[in-house]
């Protein structure tokens, strides 16, 4: 049993005809998108906002109609993965580098449904390095400002080159140790000029669907 597939497909049960939905990014969201594609081919009518170019490509391949966020008042649900989930449903996201679009889409969503395998459940956020999207302009100085808040950090690289996001920004992967107050840290980080967005999603998720290695699925509500 693949727990990512289990949770991704289970989350698609929350989608009903006529919904406007957000589609997340990553290896777990992949299974939700594939399932939505199957449902669309079986007659489901939905319109979707993707959270990355990768997701837009996959959704288009699956025949899912894509729209811009500006075309809707709000999204009914968004299904997305996470890198860590704490007992209060605070999240770290951005392992796949899509945190900015993911947060914008999540903020425009009525019900954010997070899909994870059991390895993502933690008591306190912070073992996973916190991704922070920063402008390329002056990024080393922005990094110093972030480090002054108690972090060590590294610029994200891919194939030896600096990783560039869908928004043409960079990502700093930051070690703050265990994060005692996710809500405060996310606000404080976003006051630093040069920080575009950070990967803490505090008080945003309403439902967490967990896939376990033994094939169990748990749906948790806030
Ligand atoms: O935040 C994300 C991408 O920016 C992903 O949702 C997160 O990294 C989890 O990915 P995966 O399901 O592949 O483990």
Number of H helices, E strands in the chain: 6, 16
Confidence grade of residue 1 (pLDDT, cut at 50, 70, 90): confident
- Which DSSP category does 203 fall into? S
Is the ipTM reported for this complex over the cut 0.90?
yes
Q: Which of 11, 94, 96 to mutate to test the pocket of ligand 1 (most atoms within 8 A of CB)?
A: 96
Same domain, 194 and 208: no
CA distance 128 to 110: 27
Cβ of 93 closer than 6 Å to ligand 1, yes or no, is yes
Ligand 1 atom showing the smallest separation from residue 116 Cα: 12
Residue-level pLDDT at 72: 96
- For residue 117, the SS3 value is strand
Say whether both 207 and 193 belong to one domain.
no
> What does each C-alpha distance from 70 to 36, 48, 49, 59, 88 come to in angstroms?
22, 12, 10, 19, 30
Q: Are residues 21 and 7 in the same domain?
A: yes
Closest CA relative to residue 100, chosen from 193, 197, 202, 23: 197
Same domain for 107 and 212: yes
Query: Which residue, judged by its Cα, is nearest atom 10 of ligand 1?
Result: 26
**Domain shared by 134 and 64, yes or no:** no
Residue 146: band (very low, low, confident or very high) from pLDDT cuts 50, 70, 90: very high
Binned at pLDDT 50, 70 and 90, residue 182 comes out as very high
Whether 93 and 146 share a structural domain: no
Cα–chain-centroid distance for residue 89? 13
10/71 same-domain check: yes
Average pLDDT across the chain, whole number: 98
Handedness of CA 184, 91, 75, 14 (dihedral sign): negative
Judge whether 6 and 211 are in contact, CB under 8 Å: yes
> Confidence band (pLDDT; 50, 70, 90) for 178?
very high
Residue range 13-29: mean pLDDT, rounded = 98
Buried b (16+ CB within 10 A) or exposed e, 144-174: ebbeeeebebeebeeeeeeeebbeebbbbbb
Supply the DSSP symbol for 213: T
60-107 pLDDT, tens digit each: 999 999 999 999 999 999 999 999 999 999 999 999 999 999 999 999
Domain encompassing residue 94: 3-121+202-221
Are residues 111 and 161 part of one domain? no
Give the pLDDT mean for 40-47: 98
CATH of residue 144: 3.30.70.260
102 is catalytic: yes
Catalytic residue among 84, 102, 133, 197: 102
How confident is the model over 156-178, as a mean pLDDT? 98
Q: Are residues 106 and 24 in the same domain?
A: yes
Q: DSSP readout, 165-188?
A: -TTS-EEEEEE-SS-S-HHHHHHH
Residue 187 sits at φ, ψ, to 5 deg, of: -70, -45
Same domain, 44 and 151: no
The reported pLDDT for the residue numbered 188 is 98
Calculate mean pLDDT across residues 148-158. 98
Half-sphere exposure of 178 (CA within 13 A, CB side): 5
How many folded domains does the chain comprise? Answer: 2
Looking at the structure, tell me whether residues 55 and 77 fall in a common domain. yes
Mean pLDDT of 23-35: 98
Q: Is 140 in the same domain as 174?
A: yes
130-134 and 109-117 as β-strands: parallel, antiparallel, unpaired? unpaired
pLDDT digits 0-9 by tens, 97-138: 999 999 999 999 999 999 999 999 999 999 999 999 999 999
Give the pLDDT confidence score for residue 144 in this predicted structure: 98
């Amino acid at each position: 049993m693949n727990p990512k597939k289990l949770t991704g497909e289970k989350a698609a049960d929350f989608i009903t005809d006529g919904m406007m939905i957000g589609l997340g990014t990553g290896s777990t969201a992949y299974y939700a998108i594939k399932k939505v594609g199957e449902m669309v081919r079986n007659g489901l009518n939905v319109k979707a906002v993707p959270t990355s170019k990768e997701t837009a490509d996959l959704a288009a391949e699956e025949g899912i109609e894509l729209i811009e966020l500006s075309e809707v008042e709000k999204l009914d649900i968004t299904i997305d993965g996470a890198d860590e989930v704490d007992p209060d449903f605070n999240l770290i996201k951005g392992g796949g580098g899509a945190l900015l679009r993911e947060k914008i889409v999540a903020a425009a969503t009525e019900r954010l449904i997070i899909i994870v395998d059991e390895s993502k459940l933690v008591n306190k956020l912070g073992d996973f390095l916190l991704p922070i999207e920063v402008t390329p302009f002056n990024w080393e100085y922005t990094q110093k400002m972030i480090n002054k808040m108690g972090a060590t950090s590294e610029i994200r690289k891919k194939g030896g080159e600096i990783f560039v996001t869908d928004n043409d920004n960079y990502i700093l992967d930051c070690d703050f140790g265990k994060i005692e107050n996710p809500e405060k840290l996310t606000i404080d980080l976003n006051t630093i000029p040069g920080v575009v967005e950070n990967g803490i999603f505090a008080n945003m998720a309403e439902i967490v669907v967990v896939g376990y290695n033994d094939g169990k699925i748990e749906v948790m509500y806030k």
